[in-house]
Amino acid sequence: MTDGQPLLQSRDGGVLTLTLNRPHRKNAINRDMWASLGEALTTAANDPEVRALVLTGAGGAFCAGLDLTGGEPGGHPLDVSGRGPGAHPLDEIRRANEIALRLHHLPFPVVAKVTGVAVGAGWNLALGCDLVVATPESRFSQIFVRRGISVDFGGSWLLPKLVGLQQAKRLVLLGEMIDAAEAHRLGLVTWVVAEEEIDTFVGDLGRRLAAGPPVAMTQSKALLNEGADRTLSDALAGEARAQTVNFATADAHEGIAAFLDGTDPVFTGEWAVK
């Protein structure tokens, strides 16, 4: 792939890395980047070789949200379909929302590697990942209110679940910039790692996630995502169904055998019903 493309892709075994690549605008998202990201997420979700995904940004920033300038090739961010000024904004935003859902429903773990700023839709893009790794220099803001618009890209759903309603209102209604330490204290960042160590840390994390049992991890991720909106009875029923699926894979037998033998399991996700 070339540096002129809005999204770069690389593979390391079962780990796919997607890099937002508009560093001259701190990776602010325009129409071309939306389209590339949506296509890449769809392709990854259907690729059995992908076992984990890392989402990051080029040039020392994660993502500055939507590119509101609309003054360069790629067009206005709300025109995600490329249909031009006659398109209704609500239709265009719905198309962007489809990307948030694709990210949320990916069947494997997703890690956001955040260097520099993650603001607005860019921060909510990171929060839509399963785990977030940042550096001490990273900065975060639900900046929407400062632009005269309301929270989007899933922030109204993600934030109350992660930090509670009152802190979510604080972040959204004030639009304050917070540092990585504050984001970590609130539970919005999983790890804070020195900038010179973050590549190694995330590389190791991706390999550890990719080495896990793919079917069981898919089940667990879905159960955790769904559990936030379910009763305990619903959650227990879902867990029972998931375990039934897990025990129909070779991974469950491999994990138990490796435990008994004192060896490291090798997970494949293969169906094992005779």
C-alpha to C-alpha distance for 200 and 206, rounded to whole angstroms: 10
Residues of the chain with CATH 3.90.226.10: 7-210
Write down how long the chain is: 274
Sheet with strand 139-141: strands edge to edge: 117-119, 139-141, 177-179
C-alpha to C-alpha distance for 226 and 235, rounded to whole angstroms: 8
Lowest-confidence region among 14-23, 34-43, 180-189, 235-244: 235-244
**245 and 215 Cβ atoms separated by less than 8 Å:** yes
> Is residue 105 scored above 70 in pLDDT?
yes
Which tokens belong to 233?
A: 């009875």
Which tokens belong to 79?
A: 């025109």
Domain formed by 7-210, architecture: Alpha-Beta Complex (3.90)
Q: What integer is the mean pLDDT of 35-58?
A: 97
Q: What integer is the mean pLDDT of 37-66?
A: 97
Q: What is the pLDDT of residues 181-227, one digit of tens each?
A: 999 999 999 999 999 999 999 999 999 999 999 999 999 999 999 98
Matching CATH number, 214-261, of 1.10.12, 1.10.3210, 3.20.20, 1.10.3470 = 1.10.12
Burial bucket for residue 42 (CB in 10 Å: 0-12, 13-18, 19+): middle
> What pLDDT, on a 0 to 100 scale, did the predictor assign at position 63?
97
Higher pLDDT, 68 or 103: 103
Torsion of CA 235, 163, 196, 118, to 10 degrees: 110
Q: What integer is the mean pLDDT of 160-175?
A: 96
Which tokens belong to 3?
A: 């540096």
pTM of the model: 0.89
Q: What is the pLDDT of residues 117-162, one digit of tens each?
A: 999 999 999 999 999 999 999 999 999 999 888 999 999 999 999 9
What pLDDT band is residue 107 in, cutting at 50, 70 and 90?
very high
Name the residue with tokens 């980047």: 33
CA distances from 70 to 31, 193, 204 (A): 9, 35, 38
> What pLDDT, on a 0 to 100 scale, did the predictor assign at position 9?
98
C-alpha to C-alpha distance for 242 and 4, rounded to whole angstroms: 43
CA distances from 9 to 18, 22, 159, 161, 206 (A): 5, 14, 28, 31, 15
C-alpha to C-alpha distance for 25 and 145, rounded to whole angstroms: 20
Average pLDDT score, the chain: 90
Q: What is the pLDDT of residues 37-48, one digit of tens each?
A: 999 999 999 999
Which tokens belong to 117?
A: 């700023």
SS3 8: strand
Residues of the chain with CATH 1.10.12: 214-261
> Is residue 58 scored above 70 in pLDDT?
yes
> What pLDDT, on a 0 to 100 scale, did the predictor assign at position 94?
78
